[in-house]
Structure 1
Amino acid sequence: MTTHTTTRDQGAMQTKAERWWDGPWPWLIYLVFYAVPWLWAWPTAWQLAASVAGFAVFLPTYFISHRLSGNRLLVAAAVMLLIGVVLAPVGGGWTVFPIYAASEAGRVSPPRRAIIAIALVAGVTIATGMAWHQPPFWWLTGVMIVVATGGATISRTAFYARTRALLASQEEVRRLAGTAERERITRDLHDVVGRTLTLAALKADLAAKLAARDPVRAQAEMRAVAEVARAGLAEVRAALAGQNGSSLIYEIAASREALGAAGIDAHLTGGEAAIPGDAGAVLAMTLREAVTNVIRHAEASACAIELALDGRLARLVVTDDGIGRSFREGLGLAGMRQRLTAAGGSLSIVADAPGTRLIATVPA
């Protein structure tokens, strides 16, 4: 006979307005059992008066208890139980009031407190029936319903609590998934846009230098700028769609081209073909950001790229001979760490003048 407000997950976990059939009204039907004994013996005037007084106290207590919790709810349940005890000698079906008391007590948290409260209600009901020397059938049925109703309320309350917890956890999962997706897009866009704009700027500067003395080559460089821009746009679209993931072979070729455009000698050691595709995709994005940092910050003349497969680990080492500050703590470095950590790998950087050495590993 407990009442609860129904909830529905609408993204923000907003509580739904209570409908009348979820409220306290339907359960009042059980009060008719109070008058069952009067079908055999019509009550006297004082019995009717006492019963009306009991109902006058019970009804507001019952409706108020619907909004209570904790110790206040236990007090309301105790008042309902007391009404039944007082009306026990009146001749009506007084055990309906302990049943309501057990039902409300079943909503108390934690369940252990509810069980103790229901046991007390049952004990008081038994003691009252025996104290007035009533036939066991008269009050034993009420005790059985007290236990059954209280247990059902505890079960239903626990079910609603688990449901609310599940909805809250689902909302948290959605929130974390959204955060992770935003972080992924940020990392991918940073890597894509950074390398694309860096390469486009290098080729545009080169075209400007060649415009006067070698117009044909300057035009070729500008066409290359346009090609880089188109390729970058395609990669941005792929990143937003969650499809960004360049192959290691492609990224090595693009890195050599970018380093060459910046006037930096590129040296490759090891074979990329031996590294599995999943590990290679992670290292490819790491290589992209590492080479971009070398071009933009290192002021290097040479850059060595080393690939190796050591047992179950794929390793990428990028070394430059620059000023030793090519890998500054920022969004790019944070993106590297997050991507490698998510794949079960690691990142270490040694930045000494001259030169910087980056070591990235990922399970193969």
Structure 2
Amino acid sequence: MLKQIKLNLPYYIGLIYTIIPFLTSYHENYFILVAVATILFIIAYLCVVHIHHHVCELICWIYILVYIVTYSICLDLSMSMFLFFQTNLLTFRFPDESYTSLKWISIYGELFFIHLYAFIHSSTFDWFVVLICHIFAIGLAIVLKIFMASEKRRKEKMESIRLLFLENERNRIGRDLHDTLGHVFAMLSVKSELSLVLLSQKDDVKLKKELEDIMYISRSSMKNVRDIIQQSYQSNLYDELSILKNILEDSSIGVVIEGEHVIERIPKDYRDMLSMVLRELGTNVLKHAQATKCSIRFLIDQQDMIIEMEDNGIGFSSLTGEELHTVKDRMVILKGSATIISLKNPTLVQLRFLMEEDKE
């Protein structure tokens, strides 16, 4: 329930302004008419928000349109500011509506009649103020639609990259299983047929050897399958860098990786954690940095391994201590640290940890 309210919050905030018609007409003899019309306006607005039915949407939209035009022309020109309710709907409820759709065309017609009336019957100042407010409302709606469309395209692109990665991973696992199990089943088939022959010949010594071979092959194949499955849960640092580079470059971010040759000196039991750390940093660059260039450097300082990620994005305005907390927590496991060396121009994050002898 709370999640639904949060999602619909942009629609609800503006409803506070519907109290204005009640206040401005309270002492007028047409108060009841205004009150009923405004209550119906609120109901129509909420119906458009919540009821996904074409006919209902059309009827409610027409009522909202008529209410704003009638109230603005007959009673109070400033009530044309209720145009914000319509632009709110077009921005968040109907983001895919084109500027030549019926809803947008109806707004063009609404504004034409309101401004024609204001130009003829109102002062130049009042008409100019209303014009500026309407331009702002339409401009804000257009900017938000462009931003939301861009964000939607970015998410679709990220999803396609994710699906491509999963497809490649499935294909890799499938090839590994095919190569492993295909060979195993072929050997088991041959050994089984030979065992049947030996059984018919009552050659117990050779039969026992063939059965032992079958048992050994079965156990070995089980171990190989477990290894393949285990590898599917583990990240390869080289593969992670390659995937990260491809994702960033697909998002128009140039990537340079330096010092890859020193990765061999990183203990193997550290590499999975570092893969997750680099993935987290790369995601931050992709989502928040607005960068066009990114570089990843692997360095050695005596017994310390240093990994630096640098980008030319907007960076951090200030440090609160909460930045990169997930990265810092993971580096603690490696008995290392994650430090923001430069906030911006460029943004530079440094990972440092002590290299130990590979335990494997």
What TM-score comes out, normalization by structure 2 length?
A: 0.47
Which is helix-richer, 1 or 2?
Answer: 2
**Structure with greater Cα Rg:** 1
